[in-house]
Structures are given as C-alpha cells and as structure tokens.
Structure 1
Amino acid sequence: MSKKETAFNDIVRKVRKQLFGKGPERIKTYFVDNLAITILHGNLTPTEKFIARTPEGREMVHAARTKMIQDVYAQHVPDGMEELFGSKLLYLFSDIKSGRGYGCFRFCI
C-alpha cells in the first residue's frame, strides 16, 4: 500500500469514526486518473445492523448514511484531503449496501 493510499484511507476512517462513532473495518482505495475509488467494509454500528434487519430499516440506514456523508463533504472537505492530492475535490459519489455494511465512494479531484 502506498503512503498516499494509507494517508487517504486514514482521513476517510477518521471522518467516519467522528460521524458515526465507528470507522470501517477495512478500506481499499484505487487511484485512477483523477479519481479516488474507495471501498469500505464493516461500516455499520451495532444499532444500524439492528435497524437494517428489515427492508424498511435497510432503506432508512442507506438514506441516512448517504445523505449525511454527502452533506459533510459538501460543507467541509476533510482536513488534509485536498492537500494530499494537490487539487480541489470536485465531486463525491457515495453509496452503501446497508444490509452488509459495504460502502463505496468515488472522489473526483
């Protein structure tokens, strides 16, 4: 794992831990052209896992997490992220598979 990937993953993990009280168990990031594609495993808190036992609960966890992450990054790009890339964050696309706690982010820089 490169130093850049490690630093980027640490920033993502820190933001998640601050927002949700739990960071992902595993993170893998791929840098492709002007994209950082990040796959996160083990995202859900015990409460979210309980809520996500039903289809309605999964939808609720999905909507809340997706909206929250998008709002946080729209208000303030995490410290160190743009410096790491040497450019501004242009777009953030995020999604989570709430039944399994699997998430994916695509950062356009």
Structure 2
Amino acid sequence: MVGSKKKLEAEISSAFIKFQRELLGRGPQEAKTYIVEDMVITRFKGVLTTEEKHLVNHDTGRRLVKKMRQVLREMYSSDFEKIVEDLTNCKVLSSHSDISTKMGERIEVFIVDKNLEKSVDD
C-alpha cells in the first residue's frame, strides 16, 4: 500500500507547485490532484502570469502563450513524470497536458503502469 489517497494527491499537488515556482519563479495559485484507476490528473488554477493575461486578449498573443507553455512542458516533461514516479512508485507510460488561456488553467494527465487507485487507501 502506498498510503492514503488524499495524502498522496496532496503530496503530488505540492510537489508540482514547488517545482513550477523553482522553474518559472511563480507557480499556480492552486493545484488539485485526482487519482483515478491508472491515471494521475492534476488541475492547476491561476497559471497565467500578468503579462500572459494581457497577451491572451489578442489572437496572436493567445497562440504565443499556448505555444510557449507547450514548449516549456516538452522541455520539462521528464521532470513532471519523475515527480509522479517518485511519489507513486509507478512507471509513467505517457503524459498529456493542455492549457486553457480562457480560464487560466492547465491540466496534466499521467498514465501509470498499474491501477494506482487500488494501491492506496481511501
């Protein structure tokens, strides 16, 4: 058993916030992680910087922000996956990410090699 599901979800959220603060100088205002079967899903709220909030009001700026965030995610995808692997003791098989410039939110989905939800206590 890995331990409590809620505790593990909170640990993953905290680790992601810490990593992003170290990487970008600021992190999301809020992060919430959900473990669902073989998926670890994290929803980040308040991810846009002040500059990005201005840029997303213009079509070119919105595309630029999405592209920049996509490039950053690709550059650091192994770091994000390592956080999940270290905390869950599972192998990450794949990961996916998207940002909503409209809501200022980002979602991360990690597919792991076993049903993690069955390995944790409610």
Name the CA shift for 1:49/1:18 in 2 (closer, same or farther; >3 Å).
Answer: same
Residue 52 of structure 1: CA displacement? 1.6
Q: Which residue matches 1:102?
A: 105
Residue 60 of structure 1: CA displacement? 0.6
Name the CA shift for 1:95/1:23 in 2 (closer, same or farther; >3 Å).
Answer: same
The TM-score normalised by the length of structure 1 is 0.86
Percent identity for Structure 1 against Structure 2: 29
Which structure 2 residue ranges, 5 or more long, are not aligned?
A: 113-122
TM-align CA RMSD: 1.8
After TM superposition, the structure 1 = structure 2 runs for residues 1-109 of structure 1, keeping only pairs within 5 Å, are 2-74=6-78, 76-77=79-80, 80-109=83-112
The TM-score normalised by the length of structure 2 is 0.78
Which structure 1 residue ranges, 5 or more long, are not aligned?
A: none
Residue 83 of structure 1: CA displacement? 2.2
Larger RCO (CA under 8 A, 6+ residues apart): 2
Number of residue-to-residue matches in the alignment: 108
- CA separation in 2, counterparts of 1:80 and 1:95? 18
